[in-house]
Amino acid sequence: MNLLISNDDGIFALGVQMLANTMAIAGHQVTVVCPDRERSATGHGLTLRDPIRADVVESTFHPTIKAWACSGTPSDCVKLALGALLDSPPDMVLSGINHGANLGTDVLYSGTVSAAMEGVLEGIPSIAFSLASYASQSFQPAADFAKVLVEHLYQHPLPCLSLLSVNVPAVDQQEIAGVAMTRQGIRRYFDIFEKRVDPRGKTYYWLSGEVIEDIDEPEPNSPEMAGIKSTVTDLEWFWKAQTDVQAIRQNYITITPLQYNLTCASGLASLQNWQNVFNFQPWR
């Protein structure tokens, strides 16, 4: 299989090296295009006002792997690979293995998820992999699972194109409880902007923060669920599915399907009554 791999931790991150090398040893044709430095939490940002440079990287990955370090964002990396560096489209786009979880609302900011979503935007099946720890360096269990999942997805494609966001608990392989198909949970952070002064007397701010709330089960009538209620035809199976936040605590590998269409169906329904109101206003 022809695989394109990217990340947001940078070309020299251990996670992407483990993922790429594991895939190459398994016999896949692997191309790596990653940021030349860490670009975490860049979301789906693109570089529009500066040139994007790509340099060949040697002696870092398995000998069969072609690798580039890109000056842009994770999304830039995938777009550049698909539009300029690869001779033909890959069979699949992989992103990660991220150093740290991408659970719940993290996916809105994640460069890891955005790199994989870029593949979906181009019609290519894509998976984002994350290790649910910033401290652990044990990426091999996640890489081993990635190999199995990639081969399964290739043999059994999803009926509709979507991104799979996979989070692997940072425990020994024998301690992994299993694999859970999950829905997106909610994470809220307490943001702290630390005010500092540089040597020239100029004020700057350093953003930090920590998770203050991991919500296992959002209320059915909560704003977070408003857009989901009217799009899920059979809510029983949906509510029976664990959230990624809940399952990762129980040492399950979580697989959460994501899509780029963010339309809130219930919101659109509620706006239908506005149609006549605005069509007859004086501003027309």
Number of domains the chain is built from: 2
Please give the pLDDT value at position 222: 60
Residues 178 and 192 reside in one and the same domain: no
Please give the pLDDT value at position 224: 57
Residues 227 and 108 reside in one and the same domain: no
Residues 135 and 79 reside in one and the same domain: yes
Determine, yes or no, domain membership for 274. Answer: no
Please report, in angstroms and rounded to a whole number, the separation of the first and last CA atoms in the chain: 56
| Distance between CA atoms of residues 187 and 210, nearest Å | 10
Residues 251 and 228 reside in one and the same domain: no
| Distance between CA atoms of residues 136 and 218, nearest Å | 29
221, with CB counted inside 10 A (0-12, 13-18, 19+), is: exposed
Report which of 126, 169, 121, 122 is spatially closest to residue 145, judged by C-alpha positions.
Answer: 169
Residues 86 and 161 reside in one and the same domain: yes
Residues 132 and 199 reside in one and the same domain: no
Task: Assign residue 25 the CATH number of its domain.
Answer: 3.40.1210.10
Please give the pLDDT value at position 238: 67
Encode burial over 153-191: b for 16+ CB neighbours within 10 A, e otherwise: beeeeeeeebbbbbbbbbeeeeebeebbebbbbbbeeee
| Distance between CA atoms of residues 201 and 192, nearest Å | 21
Residues 125 and 100 reside in one and the same domain: yes
Please give the pLDDT value at position 272: 78
Please give the pLDDT value at position 185: 86
Residues 206 and 113 reside in one and the same domain: no
* Residues lower than pLDDT 70 in the chain: 189-191, 208-239, 280-284
Please give the pLDDT value at position 240: 73
Q: Which residues contact 152 (CB under 8 A, 6 or more apart)?
A: none
- β-strand partners of 164: 127, 257
Residues 127 and 195 reside in one and the same domain: no
Determine, yes or no, domain membership for 283. Answer: no
Q: Which domain holds residue 208?
A: 187-233
Residues 129 and 14 reside in one and the same domain: yes
pLDDT tens digits, one per residue of 35-79: 999 998 888 899 899 999 999 999 899 999 999 999 999 999 999
- Label each residue of the chain as H, E or C: CEEEEECCCCCCCHHHHHHHHHHHHCCCEEEEEEECCCCCCCCCCCCCCCCCCEEECCCCCCCCCEEEEECCCHHHHHHHHHHHHCCCCCCEEEEEEEECCCCHHHHHCCHHHHHHHHHHHCCCCEEEEEECCCCCCCCHHHHHHHHHHHHHHHHCCCCCCCEEEEEECCCCHHHCCEEEECECCEEEEEEEEEEEECCCCCEEEEEEEEEEEEECCCCCCCHHHHHHHCCCCCHHHHHHCCEHHHHHHCCEEEEEEECCCCCCHHHHHHHHHHHHHHHCCCCC
Residues 31 and 142 reside in one and the same domain: yes
Contact between 113 and 38 (Cβ < 8 Å): no
| Distance between CA atoms of residues 104 and 244, nearest Å | 7
Q: Cα dihedral angle (154, 155, 157, 163), rounded to 10 degrees?
A: -30
Residue type for 40, please? S
